[in-house]
A and B are shown apart, each in its own frame.
Chain A
Amino acid sequence: MITIENVIKNYGKAQVLKDVSLQVKKGRILCLLGPNGSGKSTLINCILSLVKYGGSVGYHNFTKKDIGLILEDEGFCKDLNIYKNLKIDSMVKKSNVSPDELTRLIAMVGLAGHEKKLIKKLSMGMRKRLSIASALLNDPDILIWDEPYNSLDPEGIIFLRELIISLNKKGKTIIISTHLLSEVERIADDIALIYNGKILSVMEKVEIMLQFDSLENFYLHHIKNSK
């Protein structure tokens, strides 16, 4: 569904992505796993063409408007309310979503009754929930979520986990970047371990469990070897 080939990214003299190649398969959950500063967000920025990079990223049979996106910085207009922010996103995606549908989406992510609340008055967790609602506009086939668990409380994490699993059951392709091993272990089909801008390993979770017993062992084994 997405083919990433030999992607290189430099910020000044620092090379933050080093010849990254990766394939995202249709209908699967790919977790980009790696410590802070490993290049996960930069790789997502490259996939979304938010930054200039070397190499290529190929989309097969979809455009950017078909992606349901969560960025690490939510990018909402802070002195507009929840409803208007979602309305703007739906207009940009040309999704012709009715007002009722927007209200239903807001309720689905647990923000019912807060439609008129300004973004600057929301907690970080509530903003993340709004990002999830925005990502689900248009019923996208592919979801790219950068650090979706950040700022969520335990209830929010459980909600997100169940949502990811149910979306995947409907055939959605999902890319998630995170450093939370426990969540990756619960939801991932495929895991790409990224460290210092390099992909150290891409494996199916089933294989990892057979070979390393746990995700933690897989993670520590590769990170230690690359140091």
Chain B
Amino acid sequence: MSHILTPLKVERIKLFRRSNILFLLILAYLYLTPLSNFSLQTETIPNVLEFYTKLQIFLSPISLLAMALFFVNSIGNDFVEGSYRKLIAIGLSKKEYIAGKLLLTLLFSTLIFAMNLVLYFIYGITKLNASLPILLNNLTIAIVLNQILSLFAAGVFGFLIIAVLRNRTVGLVFFPFWLSIEFGFRLFGKHAENEVLTTFSPGNALFNLYNTLNFELIPLIIVITTAILFITIIYQSLKHRDEKGQQLQ
């Protein structure tokens, strides 16, 4: 057990570093600003379930983007500073390193899910005058699993980009750019009545699963397959790459 927990303990220390906290504050700002727009829309929402669905559709792109960007920034630090190279040199295995990051991604996914839940409760109670039990009625195990899994896969997507490209700036620019491409796929899908891209492209697959209210096999399988594929690429990319020092780059 300690074998698995050591990388997570290392990640816990690294999580509270200044650059991560600053980045989290920026993400929180980006996250909260559009909510003022959403609160205007709540005036016309008739019932709690519709309200919940609209809130999740509203929050999902921001949450997924926040996950990917946070991990690009956080893991990017390891490559920019050479701390990844040193940890590998002093005995952390690449599998342990990946396991630590994946556990952190899972914890962070749960945290973002919890934040979205708190927003749902706050909005539900203040805007719809709904009681907590009524709000909780809409929350099923399927929703919890779907959302945490899609957030986790978004974090893994961020890990993939930084592990392969090893360039934080490119990674940070990539995701907003990628979001617009995925949005283009969605528009194209609607226009051409072709759902291949909106079903299988990574961002849309995560969005679909995040907003699925029941256990639905197809979006679940697509996201699980995508996550496994990403983790495999991450491992292979770390395994086969030379870890030269900056002097030898």
User: Which A residues form the contact surface with B (CB < 8 A)?
Assistant: 11, 41-42, 45, 48, 50-52, 63-65, 67, 69, 71-80, 84, 87-89, 91-94, 118, 134, 146
With A45-B245, A65-B90, A89-B90 already in contact, the answer to whether A94 and B6 are too (CB < 8 A) is yes
Against A, the Cβ 8 Å flags (1 = close, 0 = not) of B213-249 are: 0000000000000000000000000001011111110
CB B245 to nearest CB in A, in angstroms, measures 5
User: Provided the pairs A45-B245, A50-B242, A65-B90 are in contact, do residues A75 and B85 lie with their beta carbons within 8 angstroms?
Assistant: yes
11 contacts between A and B (CB under 8 A): A11-B242, A41-B248, A51-B242, A71-B85, A71-B89, A73-B85, A75-B85, A79-B19, A80-B13, A88-B10, A88-B14
**B248 contacts which of A45, A87, A94 (Cβ < 8 Å)?**
A45
The total number of A-B Cβ pairs within 8 Å is 97
B240 touches A52 (CB 8 A): yes
- Chain B, 86-104, CB within 8 A of any chain A CB: 86-92
Nearest CB of chain A from residue B2's CB, rounded to whole Å: 8
Q: Is the CB of A77 within 8 A of B6?
A: no
Q: Judging by beta carbons under 8 Å apart, are A41 and B245 in contact?
A: yes
**B87 CB contacts on chain A under 8 angstroms:** 75, 88, 92
Complex CA gap A41/B247 in Å reads 9
B89 touches A69 (CB 8 A): yes
A52-B242 contact in complex given A79-B19, A93-B90, C-beta closer than 8 Å: yes
Interchain residue pairs A-B with the least CB separation, the first 5: A75-B86, A65-B91, A75-B82, A51-B242, A79-B18
Minimum CB–CB distance for B166 against chain A, Å: 14
- State the CA gap A50–B6 with chains docked (Å): 21
Contact B91 A64 (CB under 8 A): yes
How far apart are the CA atoms of A76 and B80 in the complex, in Å? 10
Partner of B14, one of A72, A74, A80: A80
Question: For the complex, what is the distance from the CA of A118 to the CA of B77, rounded to whole Å?
Answer: 15
B245–A84 contact, CB under 8 A? no
Q: How many residues of B contact A (CB 8 A)?
A: 30
Find out whether the CB atom of A91 lies under 8 angstroms from the CB atom of B10: yes
B41 within 8 A of A: no
Chain B residues with Cβ under 8 A from A88's Cβ?
10, 13-14, 87
Q: Shortest distance in angstroms between A196's beta carbon and chain B's nearest beta carbon?
A: 15
Give Cα A76–Cα B83 distance, bound, in whole angstroms.
5
State whether A87 touches B240 (Cβ < 8 A). Answer: no
4 new A-B pairs (CB below 8 Å) besides A41-B247, A63-B91, A91-B13? A51-B244, A72-B247, A74-B86, A92-B6
**Cβ-closest chain A residue relative to B86:** A75
Specify which chain B residues have a CB less than 8 angstroms from the CB of A79 in the assembled complex. 17-19
Question: Are A45's CB and B243's CB within 8 A?
Answer: yes
B190 in the interface, Cβ–Cβ < 8 Å? no
A80 adjacent to B89 (CB under 8 Å) = no
Q: Are A73's CB and B91's CB within 8 A?
A: no
CA distance A11 to B248 in the complex (A): 10
B127 at interface, CB cutoff 8 A: no
CA distance A139 to B2 in the complex (A): 22
Q: Which residue of A lies closest to B80 (CB)?
A: A78
Among residues 61 to 99 in chain B, which have CB atoms less than 8 Å away from a CB atom of chain A?
A: 77, 81-92
Cβ–Cβ < 8 Å partners of A71 in chain B: 82, 85-86, 89, 245
Quick check: A77 and B248 within 8 Å, CB to CB? no
Chain B residues, CB < 8 A from A92? 6, 10, 87, 90-92
Q: Are B85 and A77 in contact (CB under 8 A)?
A: no
The reply to whether A77 and B247 contact each other, CB–CB distance below 8 Å, is no
**A75/B248 contact (C-beta < 8 A), A50-B243, A69-B89, A91-B9 known:** no
- Please measure, in the bound complex, the distance between the C-alpha atom of A186 and the C-alpha atom of B86, giving whole angstroms: 29
In the bound assembly, the distance between CA atoms of A72 and B244 in angstroms comes to 10
Scoring B residues 144 to 159 as 1 if CB is less than 8 Å from chain A, else 0, what string do you get?
A: 0000000000000000
Given contacts A77-B77, A92-B87, contact A45 B244 (CB under 8 A): yes
A75 and B83 contact, CB distance less than 8 A: yes
On chain B, the residues within 8 Å of A73 by CB distance are 82, 85-86, 245-247
